[in-house]
Structure 1
């Protein structure tokens, strides 16, 4: 009864008001009630894992900027010192961020297993396929940065079309692997640049584009933003599909 009430409350919020780009979880509509509830729990875990990444990124970037600002201040006021500890804190944060990406990948894998068990009702699956087909460009990732594709995969030859929840979850993992690989390059580049931080030369070299960190960090920032947007875009497809077929498959919510 507690699970039923919690899910009914969540669905009521989604079905009674427009979906927004925060606190949204992937929806599913399973033939078996317990499978639907289980999928929503696993979907929450994916959202929590993604939120942990976002929070870590903000905190780590805050430390990086503090290190840069301290370097700026030391140039215009000799009485002020560098704050290398902030650079070190940022680097440690990015290393932790990489581990959090593995956590997100695992959470999506678990959700894939729940999707296989669920199967989906015929009406919901058809709605998802139709809405994906009608969707415009999605924010997708490549090794060269952000790219765009419609759900049919026509804008980019290397992007497979998405027709189902399974396809969405697979795409999340594919793009996450690209994002994680880029972060690996960011971490190595910052480790190589740490001697510059100790000499008060980090900001100047980074802003000049003469080291790998200055090149990779903006790329990763853009890619992370695109990944977050792709997550939301895909989830909204599933939410809209739930709305379109409701109450089919969810009659038990009002019993």
Structure 2
């Protein structure tokens, strides 16, 4: 894990399982962290847990006006954002034939358009600095598909493609864009899987070659690596953190 001293990192969904672990890893590497979450109280608790000097912010990332205000405030209070972790996401575990258009639109608005909106909001400052590290949290569902998560899988596949295309556009500007794809990880989302179908959850755990469900702390070091100086010549890449569940593609 490289030294991130002097860098400001914005983490969306920063109060959740993976987001909280990412905030801790970046702070441990020396970054000043702007913890963003729809749940403002949870964001504040996470920022407090990180220690002095970090910030907490509440915003709906699908709302471009709210995101602009968030970025302006975080920049004013902490400094220019040099690292962005697009982690916020939602899902509803159900068969596609049972899902509704309202659910599809909410998932797309948050998971995909939210990632696009936040990225655009920080990009000008990164271009001005001549430095930026953008790390998107995708999912192996976006690489190989996942039953009960059809639209979610589509949004995560879109995030992977978005990251690759943006990486090409900004590669000469000192900005890298990479995607980390967790496999089955112990989060509130995975608990939805267990609640929906315990047999599916048990099958997931057995299918992982390492014979366990991942922890948020398994994902965070990959994010910190992409944010650090050791990954300065790596861009447009997709890294699976899945205990070997998805080894191809």
Measured against the shorter chain, the TM-score band is under 0.3
Q: Which one has a bigger Cα radius of gyration?
A: 1
After TM superposition, the score normalised by the length of structure 2 is: 0.28
After TM superposition, the score normalised by the length of structure 1 is: 0.27
